[in-house]
Amino acid sequence: MEKKMSELHAIAHKMVEKGKGILAADESTPTCTKRFESISTESTASTRNYYRNLLFTSKGIEKFISGIILFDETFHQSELETGKKYPDFLSGLGILPGIKVDQGLGDFGDGEKLTKGLDGLSERLNNYYSLGARFAKWRAVINISETFPSKDCIEANAGTLAKYALACQQSNLVPIVEPEVIMDGNHTIDQSFDVTSRALSSVFDQLQNHNVSLQGIVLKPNMVLSGYDCSYQADIEEVAEKTINCLSANVPTEVPGIAFLSGGQSDELATLHLNEMNKYETDWNLTFSYGRALQQPALKSWQGKKENTTIAQEEFIKRAEANSLATLASL
């Protein structure tokens, strides 16, 4: 058990090492289809594989990316040139393969959500580990409105995240713990701070209640932002200060690193916020686990055309390098 935990701790530290971050390439098929529709490209198993292959084979990716979260379909697909399954291909580059294991959102009262996927989870985790996965991801969603989030919803999602995290560690996988407070709405940055604090406090209470080793997890939280429809939009310095203060008050020092999600931010703004936060002295490595904020320029450049592959890869690497510099406050 001690050896197993030391291995998990080492993997968690590798996931959040300075100068690198995690690529979230785990969009569900419906989400990927919407993104492809934006560039007038048909979404099929083949085109989705081609696009993700484009990202994963970008020259120099291993300099900036420590791990990649895969969707189940991609996890079982193969790199186009070598024919290697993606977990093996990525491991060969020194990139940790990960897997999204939650099964989407269910309703929890009026307007609130609880993530599904605990049924049969241990069996799925053991299978993914045997096929090369070294970490997993589970996303909880907390919405803000005049009437929610309710305490019950926060606690239910925190409890589910803790059960998932424990199951991961029992299966030799590092859990990415993702309690995402959604920034859609007209709420203020202070309301974001309050709800994010409540969510993080509840999550760490539950993780400790379930005896999850905090040195063997990666936290993937939202940044503390003004709601996207709020009339006052906090500037980069205020976002960084409020986010750091929120984390400092609620995240134990044993956690090795924090890999922020980008939410609905533009790719440039997500990078600038990360850069500003890394100017602070903290107990954790602060890095990124972005999906759209890493991929969007590449997707636009690709346009579903093979002849645009190289330029799309160059755009992807530009974003990855910019975020790498942001983990060092070097922009």
At 247-273, the pLDDT tens digits run 999 999 999 999 999 999 999 999 999
Contact criterion met (CB below 8 Å) for 32 and 113: no
220 flagged as catalytic? yes
Question: 14, 100, 113, 220: which one is catalytic?
Answer: 220
Question: 79, 112, 178, 315: which one is catalytic?
Answer: 178
Can you read off the two tokens belonging to residue 276? Answer: 């500003």
Dihedrals phi, psi of 140, to nearest 5 degrees:
-105, 150
At residue 119, the pLDDT reads 97
At 103-140, the pLDDT tens digits run 999 999 888 999 999 999 999 999 999 999 999 999 99
Where do we find the tokens 């940790």? 96
At residue 111, the pLDDT reads 86
At residue 323, the pLDDT reads 98
| Cβ neighbours of 309 (radius 10 Å) | 18
Where do we find the tokens 């989407």? 104
At residue 5, the pLDDT reads 87
Q: Please name every residue paired with 286 in a beta bridge, in sequence order, or none if there are none.
A: 258
Residues 6 or more apart in contact with residue 300 via CB below 8 angstroms: 39, 315
At 9-49, the pLDDT tens digits run 999 999 999 999 999 999 999 999 999 999 999 999 999 99
Q: Concatenate the DSSP letters of all residues of 176-225 into one string.
A: EEEEEE---SS--HHHHHHHHHHHHHHHHHHHHHTT--GGG-EE-PPP--
**CA proximity to 223, closest of 253, 251, 250, 259:** 259
Q: Is the dihedral of CA 62, 166, 224, 201 positive or negative?
A: negative
Contacts 24+ apart (CB under 8 A), 17-20: 17/66, 17/257, 17/285, 17/287, 18/285, 18/287, 18/327, 18/328, 19/64, 19/324, 19/327, 19/328, 20/63, 20/64, 20/65, 20/66, 20/287, 20/324, 20/327
Q: What is the 8-class DSSP label of residue 291?
A: S
Q: Please name every residue paired with 178 in a beta bridge, in sequence order, or none if there are none.
A: 139
Calpha distance 218→216 (Å, rounded): 7
At 45-64, the pLDDT tens digits run 999 999 999 999 999 999 99
Where do we find the tokens 């920034």? 183
Where do we find the tokens 């040195």? 215
pLDDT above 90 for 308: yes
pLDDT above 80 for 174: yes
Confidence of residue 277 (pLDDT cuts 50, 70, 90): very high
3 flagged as catalytic? no
Calpha distance 197→244 (Å, rounded): 11
| 80: amino acid identity, one letter | L
C-alpha distances in Å from residue 94, one per residue of 62, 77, 83: 7, 19, 18
